[in-house]
Structures are given as structure tokens and as C-alpha cells.
């Protein structure tokens, strides 16, 4: 029996009992033994009922990431190997993904603190817990065993979550061939994926939403894609037949890759790329009297922490108000939020308020859209549900 134990309060106990895989520091009432970041600990209720075991980090807001609720399961390479194989089979057998998909999505695949994206023969690995960091080479080997077509495991260990855990930022090939770029197919479009870009190299979570855009492009439309990054929504609009697509992003590096993607798809002659601030560029377009058949808003997470909710909702309101002013009467707005702390109801309330100020009526074109299913939502864990995407028909108030 482990001498390292964590006891949790009634609220944390109920959450774990329903299926939650993380324990926040505020839910811990006491610990036993000498506990260091990355250790495997056993978790108990106040009354001493065994709840599970997992990685601990007493310096983090997420104090324990549960790996198993069975006392006899050992935390080792064999466990990671079995979980990775199961996660990969789910994507391929149930979801029918083939070459580009999220292979592991943290706690939703019972591997909290681990993200793995597959892009053809390259896997991009991202670790956000001290405990998982100790096993990263075992994890890399398990990835290649679970999917033999993968020849490279790239360690894309950057970002705020990692810094909060006290881990260094690292970008390198961890295992296999030195390869950084590949080309993936998504609907009618193709995209260059570069491991040295943002996140794990490409935002796979919007895949189904980008493909859904294609059916609203009948040919000849004028489209604005704000926060375009490497051109995701913009390329789909152009490939589907839009006459002109304006793509805006503040990152010169992202715009450079978006231009490469436009050329790859043979649509560069119908695309205009702007390096600049979303707010200032939308204001400029309004002053110039521009109107668009379709406006797409896919900003970064404006709410990183619950304490920033009010400020972040104001930012979402402002960007959607500006975007709505640029949509033609009878046009379409595609608006998104990847902020975990902004749930669908808050997001709907915000867009309703923004439309009222902009003098617009909105009709929902699609069921509420979320992240792609290879980023599974664990029903017992609100933390696994983060992406919201609304397709809205826009009419002027008259």
C-alpha cells in the first residue's frame, strides 16, 4: 500500500464518483507522506474510501490527475500502451478517422495531462503534467507501437499549462525520423502541417466545422475570416467556390503558412491576406463600407481562468459586434469560442446581446456545434467540453 495519500472533501469525492479524472487543490483536505511533484499517490475520501491513484503536483491548481480507479493497477509503460491502443482504435474503428486526428485527448482517454495528434506519419505529443513528463519516452514508444505507420514522435511541449506545472518548454523530435512537415487532406482542402507552428501543429478540433462551411458556399461569395491562423476556414471557403476571401491574422508566420496553403490548393488568386489586429482591421473595413456574405470569427481563448470571465465575455462581445456589422443582410456569421469557462449558454447570451446592439436578427442554421469527436467529451467531466461554434443567418432589423 502506498504511503503517499491525498484525502479529498465531499465535493471532490462526488465528482470522482461520477467519473471526473482530476482533483483540484481546493478539494484536498490533507495529505500523508512526503509528496513531491510527479509522484504517484492514492486518493481517498474523508472517511478513508479508496477513490483511485494518479500523478500529483502540490504546486499546481490541478493537484491530482487520476489514472485509474483500481487499487491493483500499476502505473507503468504497459498501462500507457494499453490506453493508447484503446484510444487509437476508438478513432479508427468508431469514428473512422484515418491519417489526421487527435489520437489522445487527456482525461477523456484516461490519460490526463497528455495530448497526442496524428498527422500522417508524424505524431505530435504535448504533456502538461509533471508525472506524465517522467514517462514521456515510454509514451512515445507506446504511440509508435499503437500505430505502426507513425515514424516520428515530435515533442511539442510548450504553452501556459506547462509553465504552470513548472516544466521547461521543449520542441524537438523525441523519437524516430527527423521530420517536421507533412500535408493532410480535410474535406475538399489540403493543409501543410508544421510541427513548429502553434499548439500541436494544427487545430484539428475545428475540422468538422470547417468542412460544414463548404455547403454554405454556392459560388461567388465574398468571405471574411478573422483570426485565420494558417487559413483553415478561409481555404475551405475558397476551395468551395468563394469569389474573394479576406483572411486576417496578427501573426506574420501564420499568414506566411496560410499563403502556402492557398497556393497548395490553387486558390491564391482569390485570396487576400492581411497581417494586423482583428479589432482594428474590422473597424477599418467598416469605415471603408465593406460588407461580406460570410464572416468567420475564430478567436483564441479570451478566458483562460474563471476570474477572467467578465473581461473575456466583453472581448467576445466586442469582436462579434464588429463582425456582425460587416455581414450583409441575408448573410452568414460563423462564430466560435474555445474558452472552457464560457459555456454554450453564456456564449449564446453574448451573441444575442451583440446582435441587438448591431441591429441584427439571428437564426440558427445548424445544431450547436462543438469540437470534433476525436476530442471526445467525457460526460462526467465539464473540463473536456470547450469548443462552441454557431452558424447563424443574419438579417437587418427593419
Contact 159, 138 (CB under 8 A): no
DSSP secondary structure string for all residues of 131-152: HHHHTHHHHHHHHHHH-TT--E
Of 111, 161, 159, 118, give the one whose Cα is nearest residue 136: 111
Q: Between the CA atoms of 7, 12, 13 and 19, what dihedral angle is there, to the nearest 10 degrees?
A: -130
The Cα 185–Cα 313 span in angstroms is 34
DSSP label at residue 220: S
Contact 60, 25 (CB under 8 A): yes
174's CB contacts (< 8 A; 6+ apart) are: 125, 136, 137, 140, 153, 154, 155
DSSP secondary structure string for all residues of 27-56: GEEEEES---TT-EEEEEETT--EEEEEEE
What residues act catalytically?
338
Q: How far apart are the first and last CA of the chain?
A: 71
The Cα 56–Cα 32 span in angstroms is 12
The CA-CA-CA angle for residues 290, 226, 102, to 5°, reads: 155
Contact 75, 112 (CB under 8 A): no
Relative orientation angle of helices 309-325 and 344-358, to the nearest 10 degrees: 40
The Cα 56–Cα 36 span in angstroms is 7
Amino acid at each position: 500500500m502506498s504511503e503517499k495519500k491525498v484525502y479529498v472533501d465531499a465535493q471532490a469525492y462526488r465528482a470522482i464518483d461520477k467519473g471526473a479524472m482530476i482533483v483540484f487543490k481546493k478539494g484536498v483536505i490533507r495529505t500523508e507522506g512526503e509528496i513531491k511533484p510527479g509522484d504517484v499517490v492514492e486518493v481517498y475520501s474523508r472517511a478513508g474510501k479508496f477513490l483511485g491513484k494518479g500523478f500529483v503536483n502540490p504546486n499546481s491548481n490541478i493537484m491530482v490527475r487520476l489514472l485509474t480507479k483500481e487499487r491493483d493497477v500499476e502505473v507503468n509503460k504497459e498501462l500507457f500502451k494499453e490506453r493508447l491502443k484503446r484510444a487509437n482504435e476508438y478513432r479508427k474503428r468508431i469514428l473512422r478517422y484515418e491519417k489526421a486526428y487527435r489520437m489522445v485527448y487527456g482525461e477523456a482517454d484516461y490519460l490526463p495531462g497528455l495530448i497526442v495528434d496524428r498527422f500522417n506519419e508524424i505524431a505530435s505529443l504535448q504533456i502538461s503534467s509533471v508525472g506524465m513528463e517522467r514517462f514521456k519516452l515510454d509514451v512515445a514508444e507506446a504511440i509508435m507501437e499503437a500505430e505502426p505507420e507513425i515514424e516520428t514522435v515530435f515533442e511539442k511541449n510548450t504553452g501556459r499549462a506547462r509553465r504552470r506545472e513548472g516544466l521547461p518548454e521543449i520542441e524537438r523530435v523525441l523519437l524516430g525520423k527527423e521530420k517536421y512537415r507533412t500535408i493532410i487532406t480535410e474535406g475538399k482542402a489540403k493543409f501543410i502541417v508544421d510541427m513548429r507552428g502553434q499548439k500541436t501543429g494544427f487545430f484539428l478540433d475545428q475540422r468538422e466545422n470547417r468542412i460544414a462551411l463548404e455547403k454554405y458556399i454556392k459560388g461567388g461569395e465574398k468571405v471574411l475570416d478573422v483570426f485565420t491562423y494558417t487559413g483553415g476556414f478561409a481555404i475551405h471557403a475558397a476551395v468551395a467556390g468563394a469569389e474573394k476571401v479576406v483572411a486576417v491574422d496578427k501573426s506574420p508566420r501564420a499568414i506566411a503558412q496560410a499563403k502556402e496553403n492557398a497556393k497548395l490548393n490553387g486558390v491564391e488568386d482569390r485570396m487576400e491576406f492581411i497581417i494586423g489586429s482583428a479589432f482594428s482591421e474590422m473597424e477599418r473595413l467598416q469605415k471603408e463600407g465593406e460588407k461580406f456574405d460570410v464572416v468567420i470569427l475564430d478567436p483564441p481563448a479570451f478566458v483562460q481562468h474563471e476570474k477572467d470571465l467578465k473581461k473575456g465575455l466583453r472581448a467576445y462581445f466586442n469582436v462579434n459586434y464588429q463582425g456582425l456589422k460587416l455581414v450583409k443582410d441575408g448573410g452568414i456569421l460563423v462564430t466560435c469560442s474555445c474558452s472552457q469557462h464560457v459555456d454554450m449558454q453564456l456564449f449564446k447570451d453574448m451573441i444575442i446581446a451583440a446582435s441587438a446592439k448591431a441591429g441584427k436578427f439571428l437564426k440558427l442554421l445548424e445544431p450547436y456545434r462543438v469540437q470534433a469527436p476525436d476530442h471526445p467529451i467525457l460526460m462526467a467531466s465539464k473540463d473536456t467540453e470547450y469548443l462552441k461554434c454557431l452558424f447563424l443567418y443574419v438579417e437587418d432589423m427593419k
